[in-house]
A and B are shown apart, each in its own frame.
Chain A
Amino acid sequence: MLSQTLQYLFSGLTNGAIYALAALGFSIIYNASGVINFAQGEFIMIGGVSAVMLTSAGVPMPLAILLAVLIAALVGLLLEKLAIEPAGNAEVVSLIIITIGASIFLQGLAQVIFGKGQKALAPFTGDTPIMVAGASLLPQSLWMMGTGAVIVLLLAWFFGRTRLGKAMLATAHNRLAARLVGINTRHVLAVSFVLSAALGAVAGVVSAPITFTSYDVGIMLGLKGFVAATLGGLGSGLGAVVGGLILGLMESLAAGYISSAYKDAVPFVLIILILFFMPRGLFGARVTERV
């Protein structure tokens, strides 16, 4: 009994780490621009897919990972420059549709380049499960959780201690004021996309050995990342992480104790419940509109 619960816990935390990284990506872009980037999931996909293609082409794993992240970062930058900036001050609805269009475009591109099949990346340190109190834990899961933790710490340092990070936070709070003190907010926007893309790619790379990757893996991951971000409170870094972990755990427990067929429905039921009852999420900020 305990071992089963522990098993669900492990898989929940493992998936939760990915959702947390996706959620962070959403929050970073949302903070910098108020845009919800529906293409966030595609960054995850690009990371995984690129890594698979590069390693199959013979590139050594560490280099492949680095290149995969760089490719995603480049895509993020292009997305911002070519799709978001030209839209200017478009309405929220328009921006949502643009990012959805970008998401479909990137999927189409991936489908052409990568094909329709699913492929797995080789696990980083082998695939012999580690037994913990009767539950099995894959080494790759530890990689996922560990990478997630390291990234969260790096981001905390970045936003808390570096000038660029603080500039990004300032832009999130009040764009006009940030510009008035000399922060280049367009620059901040570009960096936010690059950063989110890199985050997504890392998540994609580190999860590809377990979850398999394919051209359409981004949709679900992106949506779940959004649910996690909303649960934690859009724009809150802590919220993103907490939201991601909670979502992962709830999915896992629901699959185990309720029904595995509706496992994928959990995030969507959750998002509707959150939006109905506490739209600001756990750690979201209170906003009053000035008239």
Chain B
Amino acid sequence: MQRYRGLMVLALIIALLPLALPNNYYYDVAIRIGLNATVVVGLNLLIGYAGQISLGHAGFFGLGGYASAILTTRYGWPPLAAMLTGMAAVGVIAFVVARPILRLRGHYLAMATLGLGIIIFMVLGNESSWTGGNDGMSVPPFALLGVTLASERTWYWVTGAVLLAAILLANNIVDSPMGRALRAVHGSEIAAQVAGVDTVRYKVRIFVVSAVFASAVGSMMAHYVGFITPQVSSFFHSIELVTMVVVGGMASTYGAVLGAAILTTLPQLLSRFEGYEMIVFGLILMLTVIFLPRGLLPTIAARLRKAG
């Protein structure tokens, strides 16, 4: 039961949080935290555990969102089918580009993923006949079996459930032969290879998993907001996602959730410092990586372990 302790704590928090949320605005923030956290839990598998990097993950997020938007709006597909199709399509795309990209290391990998993300961003912005161009397009609400997800409260519970499911899946992967193989790739790729791990194949798999997570959440976010623009797949959004992983905790699923929580609420808190967001953001990024290289949660956990 010990493995599920963290999950139960989080489930408790999710269940009790509404008591502290006075109005819809707070629900909105909570929902966005939940959605971001789900993406970041997946991205953390790639960056924190497997030690890779992706500076273009917002591209997958955007593809998922637009798949939902286009299929539901222009072709009248049911939202769930559109979302699953988006996930499948993104999975295929990620698989195709992953193999050649993940043979690269370090900054080459970073640049390749960055290039990919930007190409997706440009295509989404330019193909206005499909996507509505830079002005974006509207997205119908998510409906399943006649039930429409419209209110903030409904979305809150759905998001909470999806987040818990994502964490469960991610933790299962980490604590499995595949998860150990990935962490070994991060620790010493050569050692993993001589132990029999086909390191490229594993990196590809986890890349695809994290891309599909992003696509699913992209779809959800599109339905929740009711509108989508190419900005969701911008370079800056990709960096935001990476920052959430880095700040909250590399190789820590709950750290990823913490990072998402901090970085989603931060702009709200900083709204009085309008114009200074980039300065603060850049500083947070630099200072965290320099002084807390493993992220907040692992560092706090290590301190508590030492003290206790």
Contact = CB atoms under 8 A, between A and B. Distances in A.
Partners in one complex: yes
Contacts of A258: none
B285 interface: yes
Contacts of B284: 101
Nearest to A230: B111
A113 to B, nearest CB: 10
A264 interface: yes
A280 to B, nearest CB: 10
Interface string A78-110: 000001001100111110111011111111110
Nearest to A79: B286
A96 B107 contact: yes
Given A92-B107, A93-B51, A94-B289, A108 B282 contact: yes
Contacts of B162: none
Contact of B290 (A86, A262, A267): A86
- Grouping DSSP codes into helix (H, G, I), strand (E, B) and loop, the A interface class, with mixed when no group exceeds half, is helix
Nearest to A102: B286
Interface stretch (A17-25, A133-141, A162-170, A268-276): A268-276
Given A36-B107, A109-B279, A279-B108, A272 B116 contact: yes
A272 B289 contact: no
Interface string B75-104: 000000000000000000000010011001
B49 interface: no
B281 A261 contact: no
B10 to A, nearest CB: 26
Q: Report the interface size class on chain A.
A: 35 or more
Contact of A93 (B106, B118, B275, B279): B106
B278 interface: yes
Given A223-B114, A262-B126, A271-B111, A94 B293 contact: yes
B7 interface: no
A54 B116 CA distance: 38
Interface in B24-77: 47, 51-53, 55
A176 interface: no
A112 B126 contact: no
A109 B279 CA distance: 6
B267 interface: no
Interface of B: 47, 51-53, 55, 97, 100-101, 104-108, 110-112, 114-116, 118-119, 122, 126, 190, 235, 239, 242-243, 246, 275-286, 289-291, 293
Interface of A: 36, 83, 86-87, 90-94, 96-98, 100-109, 111-112, 219, 223, 226-227, 230, 261-262, 264-265, 267-269, 271-272, 275-276, 279, 291
19 contacts: A36-B107, A83-B286, A86-B291, A91-B51, A93-B51, A100-B55, A100-B285, A104-B278, A104-B281, A108-B282, A111-B278, A112-B275, A227-B115, A267-B115, A268-B114, A268-B118, A268-B119, A272-B115, A275-B104
Given A83-B290, A87-B293, A262-B122, 18 more contacts: A36-B107, A92-B107, A93-B52, A93-B110, A97-B246, A98-B289, A100-B55, A101-B286, A105-B278, A105-B282, A107-B278, A109-B279, A111-B278, A226-B111, A268-B114, A268-B122, A271-B111, A272-B119
